[in-house]
Amino acid sequence: MYKLFLKIATRYLLKNKLYSFINIFGLAIGIASFVLIMLYVNYEQSYDKFEGSENVYRAYMDYLEGDTFVAGDAQTYNSTGPSLKEEFPEVLDYVRLFYFEKMTFQLGERILEEPLGSLADPSYFDIFNYPLLKGEKEKVLSQPYSIVLSQSFAQKLFGTEDPMQKTISAFRDGEKAILTVTGVMVDMPKTAHYRNSFLISYETEKTWTYYGTEIHELNWNANNYYTFLKLDPNANVSLLRQKIMDSDLEQDTEEQHNIEPLEDIHLYSDKPYEVSANGSVTRIKFLTAIAFIILILSWLNYVNLSATKSMERAKEAGIRKVSGAQKSQLILQSLIESILLNIIAISISLVLVAITLPLYNAVTGKELSSGLSNISSFLPYFLFILLGMILAGLYPALLLSSYSPAKALKGKIQTSTQGLAIRKGLLVTQFLATIVLLIGTIVVTKQINFLESQPIGTNVNQVIALKGEVITAKADSLLINDYKVLEAELKRLPFVEKVAIAQTYPGDSFDNLSSTRGISLPNGKREEDKLFYTYHVQPDYFDLMDIEFLAGGTFLASSEGKGRQVIVNETFLKNMGISSADDVLNKTLGFWGYDEWRVAGVIKDYYHFGLKSPVLPMIIRYQSDVSNLLVKLDPSAASLSGIESSMSQIKLVWTRIFPKSTFNYTFLDQKFEAQYKEDKAFGSAFQVFTVIAILIAAMGLFGLTSYTVVQRKKEIGIRKVNGATIPQVLALLNKDFVKWVGVAFVIAVPVSWYTMNQWLEGFAYRTTLSWWVFALAGISALLIALLTVSWQSFQAAVTNPVDSLRDE
């Protein structure tokens, strides 16, 4: 019997090609989108998982803001780990990590830069349970001047040779250390928020640099270390957390320690000084919602189409009933058909996933695989798809089996008003989802445009930051002289407009700002609990970056005590309760144990980190440095080939002055844009999946109208015979759809207004939810619906009534 059922189903699908195509492809696209989104969601949820990871927590700092503590710093003191372990028996162990964004290594004559590394306590491999390929986990980091390499870094350095016990030189702030390779670890997965390509034993810090001994002393002054704790699996974590918050380890009422699970960092943490940009649980929630909306849309489509189609198959059901089929057998047959259709759709969707995955990975910047490795985590979704498939098949099955055979055989099947109401409901739900997604897309796009078009108070275009590690035995002061030479040489290049040296620049990582508390203001007040951020630059910086002054001007290079000049921003004044720039200009501030910082100028606020985070209160100091040399190119060098040749000339100058060095450059505009990368990816994902959802909805609508039109063929014929014009017939057929879009729109507006406000909350500066956003979405949905429907309505309207009435 099943064989025959399958046979008849297959023939039916082949015969009704349009119907099958719409149904199968609607489902396939829906399922493929669902799978792709959920692959991404799963990936984002799989961060920092290894054996024992559930017991690993990160300590971080809360800072007092007003009268509540807020998450203030992902980094902690070097005393944090030891003190927590001593105070709380639940803390079994700790590891402190000092992060290097990149480091320069020298092996023989080869100089190379490697990103992502850390100073790490010997307990590292005990807490981060990543396998070691060579070396013993207790010993690899126990001695100073030890280094553990990742497999691929080891290969890069030593090729196929055994790296163990070999030595390499590493440079920190120009000071060299000779390190011995004591271990090789596996490459850390991309799903780790804190990835290391090399680990240097923590003790090395003490003697590496001239300031090493001082910073290495246990202290509560500089919180530059990430501290990870291994907790007792039986510990009451919420209690411990409270105890840690209540404890006053560093005896500072302005701050407190706190802990958070390692596994939550990627999705839930967005603190200052994060080691890398984290994901966002809001985005994950939104994407999950989109995934389910699309899947449900395609099921609704399926239900709607099959239900409509089942009227056409009423005769068949009637014949079967007359031939002795029981209701349950008819239901079973219909279910088998829908399962067959779903299996085809699922197969096609898997092919679609396999085809689009590389592209998808390129867009999302992730390494998703459709492999079997994560099949267990996907099982619930597959069960969900299965369940939905059966539910979606059940409605048409019940509908079909319920027809009375005598009526069905006469072809007198009219849908009950109830059935019609259900289908209208389904259609309204489809429109609702479509309009909500449309509004979402428009808002996301609008916000991203807003982020990109808003004046940021500085000009990052055609600015390049040159940075490299110079391997030399020279003292810092002499190196600075070399930089001065470099500056002068670069200025002589025809396409270089301006040059300036700066510690950091807009869009650079948070790590390059120092956060400080405790300042004496010119009005004699001492402000202890307000945080401010500081970095240092040379005088030309403001001119080069087009940062405007409200009062005063840039640093005076010639003035006496020039290193004690500062420039503050508007937000700094506002935060410190200073109403006028004149109240600070040429007056002095006191911080860092020095009371005579003279305020040379007040700048207008600029967005150091884009518009996602609020402007920070900033003090910019005057100090020579060798970290970044900013170069502003002449607009004439802006074309691609121009930039290429400019860069090679700049590199020539650089290597002439620093023959032994690495050379790196960053385009500031690209780096600044990169801050919005995840949001843009989210935006494009939103757009793509909205288009898919609309496509599915339109396909369903198309299918549905084609049957409505067939059903009403006779009515249309009669109306036309009685004098109805084509526009009148069109209006008749389209009226209902307009009404349904209207109903959906009324529901969609508050739903999307609420959800999109939630999303916008994640931005410090946000666009408005203007009325036209909703209007545009509503009108678009209406147009899409009308276009889809009218194509067929028109066909029906122009048909000669003689044809439609003849076969009666």
Partner 1 sequence: MLLELNNIFKWVNSGGQRIFLLKDINLQVEEGEFISIMGPSGSGKSTLLNVIGMLDGFDEGEYNFLDESVHTLKEKHRANLYKEYIGFVFQSYHLLDELTVQENLEMPLLYKKYKGAERKAMVADMLDRFNIVGKKDLFPAQLSGGQQQLVGVARALIASPKLILADEPTGNLNSQQSAEIMELFKKLNQEDGVTIIQVTHSEKNAAYGSRILKLLDGRKV
Which residues lie near partner 1 (CB under 8 A)?
1, 4, 7-8, 11-12, 15, 315-316, 318-320, 322-326, 329, 404-406, 409
- What phi, psi does 102 have (nearest 5°)? -160, 165
**Cβ 447 to partner 1, closest distance in Å?**
53
Judged by CB, which is closer to partner 1: 254, or 312? 312
* Cα-to-chain-centroid distance, residue 268: 12
**Cβ 784 to partner 1, closest distance in Å?**
34
Judged by CB, which is closer to partner 1: 11, or 574? 11
746: which 2 tokens?
């009324």
484: which 2 tokens?
């001065």
Per the rule left: phi > 0, alpha: psi between -120 and 50, beta: everything else, 591 is beta
Judged by CB, which is closer to partner 1: 329, or 687? 329
Per the rule left: phi > 0, alpha: psi between -120 and 50, beta: everything else, 649 is alpha
769: which 2 tokens?
């939810």
| Strand pairing report for 175-185 and 146-150 | parallel
**Cβ 717 to partner 1, closest distance in Å?**
22
Judged by CB, which is closer to partner 1: 271, or 320? 320
Per the rule left: phi > 0, alpha: psi between -120 and 50, beta: everything else, 640 is alpha
Give the end-to-end CA distance of the chain in Å, rounded to a whole number.
36
| Strand pairing report for 594-603 and 588-591 | antiparallel
- Residue 238, Cβ density class (10 Å: 0-12 exposed, 13-18 middle, ≥19 buried): exposed
**Cβ 280 to partner 1, closest distance in Å?**
52
**Cβ 421 to partner 1, closest distance in Å?**
24
Judged by CB, which is closer to partner 1: 166, or 315? 315
Judged by CB, which is closer to partner 1: 34, or 707? 707
**Cβ 21 to partner 1, closest distance in Å?**
18
Q: Tokens 């004149």 appear where?
A: 582
**Cβ 24 to partner 1, closest distance in Å?**
17
Of 120, 52, 123, 48, nearest to 85 by C-alpha is 123
**Cβ 382 to partner 1, closest distance in Å?**
31
**Cβ 4 to partner 1, closest distance in Å?**
6
Judged by CB, which is closer to partner 1: 316, or 673? 316
Judged by CB, which is closer to partner 1: 336, or 513? 336
Judged by CB, which is closer to partner 1: 23, or 752? 23
* Cα-to-chain-centroid distance, residue 258: 25
Judged by CB, which is closer to partner 1: 90, or 337? 337
**Cβ 719 to partner 1, closest distance in Å?**
25
Judged by CB, which is closer to partner 1: 247, or 329? 329
Residues 6+ apart with CB under 8 A from 502: 535, 536, 537, 538, 541, 625, 627, 628, 630
Q: Are 428 and 370 in contact (CB under 8 A)?
A: no
Judged by CB, which is closer to partner 1: 17, or 492? 17
**Cβ 345 to partner 1, closest distance in Å?**
20
Residue type, 198: F
Residues 6+ apart with CB under 8 A from 128: 50, 56, 95, 228
Judged by CB, which is closer to partner 1: 411, or 659? 411
Other beta carbons less than 10 A from residue 332's beta carbon: 17
Q: Tokens 């869009």 appear where?
A: 507
**Cβ 347 to partner 1, closest distance in Å?**
22
**Cβ 390 to partner 1, closest distance in Å?**
23
Judged by CB, which is closer to partner 1: 21, or 211? 21
**Cβ 25 to partner 1, closest distance in Å?**
22
- DSSP, res 559: S
Judged by CB, which is closer to partner 1: 70, or 322? 322
Judged by CB, which is closer to partner 1: 7, or 604? 7
**Cβ 16 to partner 1, closest distance in Å?**
10
What is the spatial distance between Cα 188 and Cα 130, in angstroms, rounded to a whole number?
8
- What phi, psi does 328 have (nearest 5°)? -65, -35
623: which 2 tokens?
């100090």
Judged by CB, which is closer to partner 1: 108, or 324? 324
Alpha-helical (H) ranges within 761-770 are none
Q: Are 251 and 169 in contact (CB under 8 A)?
A: no
240: which 2 tokens?
């411990």
The two most distant CA atoms of the chain are separated, in Å, by 108
Render 281-311 in DSSP notation, one character per residue: HHHHHHHHHHHHHHHHHHHHHHHHHHHHHHH
What is the spatial distance between Cα 247 and Cα 721, in angstroms, rounded to a whole number?
89
Judged by CB, which is closer to partner 1: 4, or 359? 4
Burial 271-283 (b: 16+ CB within 10 A, else e): bbbbbeebbbbeb
What is the spatial distance between Cα 22 and Cα 28, in angstroms, rounded to a whole number?
10
HEC profile of 571-639: HHHHHCCCCCHHHCCCCEEEECCEEEEEEEEEECCCCCCCCCCCCCCEEEEECCCCCEEEEEECHHHCC
What is the spatial distance between Cα 6 and Cα 790, in angstroms, rounded to a whole number?
35
Of 526, 534, 611, 615, nearest to 577 by C-alpha is 526
Q: Are 342 and 388 in contact (CB under 8 A)?
A: no
Of 372, 282, 260, 276, nearest to 41 by C-alpha is 282
What is the spatial distance between Cα 158 and Cα 164, in angstroms, rounded to a whole number?
10
**Cβ 306 to partner 1, closest distance in Å?**
16
Q: Tokens 């690993």 appear where?
A: 56
**Cβ 344 to partner 1, closest distance in Å?**
17
**Cβ 710 to partner 1, closest distance in Å?**
16
